[in-house]
Structure 1
Amino acid sequence: MKRSYELTRAAEDGDVATVARLLGAGAAVDALGEDARTALDLAAQENHADVVRVLLGAGADAAAHAGPYHDLTPLTCAAMFGSRDAVAALLDAGVSMAAQDRIPYTPLVVAASNNHAETVALLLDRGAAVEDRAMKNRTALEWAACFGRVESVLLLLDRGAEATGTALSCAERHAQRGEEERGRYGRMAEALRAALGRDAA
């Protein structure tokens, strides 16, 4: 048990040498740490790409439950925290960007919903389906708009995402909350109106 805790702590700290040493000494790669999270889960969250690569090379389960609430995968956890390098390492290893049977989130949706534009761009560059509706029949653009993620919305539109009435309604709700919100979220609503070919409201 002690060795598994050491492994998860080292992974969370980005201590690749200790991770490699512990694995070589027989630590179980998917053992749970003190907070019931694996080394891969924690390394992905903290953007320790070198540790992610070592763990994957040792056979870590890239489809296991991950994240603070155990409702993600290591890839979607990395995307949620904007851990771009870890996302790249997982994709390099062939980890799927599709929703898993038990875990419906997709990395593109969670990255966009948390406004991690660099991670969104990476996922799109790697072939993420911009119009995927795996999460409650909404696209990443719609989720980003409804969470008020201006940068993600503008990036997704620029990368070919289809503007929708749902996204526009969400953007307009944010913009109508007050003067400060109008200035920030107005850009998002204007971009969506333009994409939809509608006159400014």
Structure 2
Amino acid sequence: MDIPDRLTRAAENGDAAAVARLLDAGAEADAPNSVRRTALDLAVNAGHVDVVRLLLAAGADPCRRTGEYRELTPMLQAAMRPDPEMIRVLLDAGASMDAQGPMEWVPLVVAATSGDRGHPQTVVLLLDRGADIDAVMKGRTALEYALTTGRTLMARWLLGRGAAPTEYALGLAHSRARQSPEDAKKYAPVLGALHARLSELDG
């Protein structure tokens, strides 16, 4: 097994000691393995923050394309996970919060719509670091995606943080609320929050 394969395997397994030894022995932090994955790619994907710190300190590029098909970035991978510390480490290393990857995905939107309810702690961190709460990804904001995917708690939280209560968002909430009695109950608090925000803006 050559050095890049050894490094990526250790990174994916979270073996920080082995990663440190390989880097000290001259392994290149961004060298791809035999299937074109890098150590940073696999460490972020597996959630090994300590390994990610080592790789970034050794010069790994926090903006390099990742994923099996080069469809992601470390930030997008981290935004899909519930641990905000990975996001913090990547931001400190210079990672972008703007649309990125070949699909132009926005980390804030990804964080708001990943998992069963989105990842609010990650969204908080991104907003505190200056992310645009109304950033658009493929024509929709995080609020609109949250409503589309049934993440009503996230939608209410985004509204509480100042997300724009767009007419499209209001239409989505009304449409989903009409689908069944259960949906009506689920979306009622969101509709109330939307109307409250619209009243605030009108006032």
Q: Alignment partner for residue 145 of structure 1, among 147, 154, 157?
A: 147
* 1:25-69 alpha-carbon deviations (Å, 9 max, x no partner): 233322334654322122223332221111111111222222455
| 1:103 CA drift (Å) | 4.8
Provide the residue aligned with 2:162 in structure 1. 160
Q: Number of aligned pairs?
A: 197
Aligned runs of 1:88-103 on 2, under 5 Å? 88-100=88-100, 102-103=102-103
What is the CA–CA distance in structure 2 between the aligned matches of 1:6 and 1:179, rounded to whole Å?
Answer: 55
CA distance in 2, matches of 1:4, 1:85: 26
Any unmatched runs of 5+ in structure 2?
none
- 1:189, 1:45 → 2: CA distance? 36
Structure 2 matches for 1:112-151, cutoff 5 A? Answer: 112-114=112-114, 115-133=118-136, 135-151=137-153
Deviations 1:57-92 (A, max 9, x none): 111122222245532210111002233111110011
CA distance in 1, matches of 2:13, 2:127: 29
Structure 2: distance between partners of 1:66 and 1:172: 38
Q: What's the CA shift for 1:102?
A: 4.1
Alpha-carbon distance in structure 2 between the residues aligned to 1:186 and 1:64: 42
The answer on whether the counterparts of 1:76 and 1:110 sit within 8 Å (CA) in structure 2 is: yes
CA shift for structure 1 position 127: 1.0
Q: Does residue 26 of structure 1 match 2:26?
A: yes
Gaps of 5+ in 1: none
Do the aligned partners of residues 82 and 58 (structure 1) sit closer, same or farther apart at CA in structure 2, a change above 3 Å counting?
same
Q: Whole-Å Cα distance in 2 between the matches of residues 192 and 58 of structure 1? A: 47
Work out the CA distance in 1 between the residues paired with 2:181 and 2:6: 51
CA distance in 1, matches of 2:178, 2:32: 46
**Over aligned residue pairs, what C-alpha RMSD do you find?**
2.3
Please say if residues 20 and 54 of structure 2, whose CA atoms lie closer than 8 Å, have aligned partners that are also in contact: yes
Identity among equivalent positions (%) equals 49
User: Structure 1 residues 33, 155: closer, same or farther in 2, change over 3 A?
Assistant: farther
- What's the counterpart of residue 197 of structure 2? 195
Q: Which amino acid aligns with 2:70?
A: H
Q: TM-score with structure 2 length normalisation?
A: 0.84
Residue equivalent to 1:105? 105
Instruction: Indicate whether 1:177 and 2:160 are aligned.
Output: no
For 1:195, give the aligned amino acid. Answer: R
Give the structure 1 partner of residue 71 of structure 2. 71
Output one character per residue of 1:101-147: Cα deviation in whole Å (capped at 9) or x when no partner. 745112101101211111111111111111222x2232222222222
